[in-house]
Amino acid sequence: MEFTIERPDRKLQHALQARIDSLTKPKGSLGVLEDLALQVGLIQQTLTPRLCHPQNIVFAADHGIVAEGVSVAPKEVTWQQVLHFTHPQGTGGVNFLCRQHGFTLKVVDAGVDYELPKDRGIIDLKIRRGTSNYIDGPAMSEAELEQCLEGGSRVVRQCAAEGSNVLSFGEMGIGNTSASSLWMHFFTGIPLSECVGAGSGLDIKGILHKYEVLSRAKENYRGDGSPRDLIRWFGGFEMGMAVGAMLQAAELKMVILVDGFIMTSCMLAASKLCPAVLDYAVFGHCGDESGHRKLLDALGARPLLNLGLRLGEGTGAICAYPILDSAVRMINEMDTFDTASITQYF
């Protein structure tokens, strides 16, 4: 797929900044809220931005590299959690946060190694039942990467048709911190040892084993080093779909709330395909997974929260949404010095 992502037109920046500075507050006193209001105003090209119908899309798939013992959680946790997310009671971590903050939750089967039931509302875009083990070969084919990009794009277009202009993305896939660590290393040049962490709860011995496995996978890489090749060689189907979803969201000029380590890695990969996607990204939080802070720094990103989160699923991005909402409410609901008949003192 080809995506055409335009950088927001900066001609409106002066008027937006003047509007923000005219609100009844000391100049700059609402800090990050002012920066966010400017960003969203530029994305939407308006002095009165709005956030409409927020949705969180969880992409799920399995990873062949799990066969090498890189995760403390067994592979079946992927499909079990997908069923948990879509249970009628909605008692998963992402479920209560979606309810709290008014998000619609969509769950996508990108490549779960299980025949999921048809009556749970799961969006079935299964490519196959998990990627190949990339210890000595690519995780997916070029054609499968195309399927990933198209699948993620299709879900975002559906959200846009439903009236959404702000999306967050989450993932479920045992083993996907391994893929994220390799993307981080190849795309940033940060030593692999600084990119590998505990994932779902490895101890020190487990982290060392994970590092050794990923080092072998790195040494065995025989691709051309291009972003697309690195994405398909080490990525998961759910991660490839997230990349396509992010690119499509940016093309449609939507605000993208970026979650934790895996979704930040997906935004990194997306930016290697289309750098302008970063203009549409709001980074929700800095998680506890080793390497996430360094990855954010490599992207020049300033996360809104630091709560020690490392659940994934989009939870950190959803937690950050009220801050984004506050920024938009600020520019729309605060009086200006003129309308409030207050002397502007700067």
Hey, which residues are catalytic here?
313
Q: Are strands 123-124 and 255-258 parallel, antiparallel or unpaired?
A: unpaired
Q: Return d(Cα 31, Cα 86) in angstroms, integer.
A: 38
Q: Which residues contact 299 (CB under 8 A, 6 or more apart)?
A: 264, 267, 268, 271, 278, 283
Task: Describe the strand order of the beta sheet including 281-283 as a list of residue ranges.
Answer: 123-124, 104-111, 55-61, 166-172, 255-258, 281-283
Residue with tokens 């989160």: 309
Q: Return d(Cα 298, Cα 292) in angstroms, integer.
A: 10
* DSSP 8-state symbol, 135: T
Residue 98 token pair: 């979606």
Helix axes 31-44, 315-333, angle to 10 degrees: 90
Q: Return d(Cα 24, Cα 1) in angstroms, integer.
A: 47
The answer to whether 159 and 246 have CB atoms below 8 angstroms apart is no
Q: Return d(Cα 332, Cα 44) in angstroms, integer.
A: 14
For the chain, first and last CA: distance in Å? 50
Q: Return d(Cα 20, Cα 35) in angstroms, integer.
A: 9
Q: Return d(Cα 268, Cα 278) in angstroms, integer.
A: 9
CA distances from 91 to 18, 42, 259, 268, 311 (A): 45, 37, 20, 31, 15
The answer to whether 210 and 178 have CB atoms below 8 angstroms apart is yes
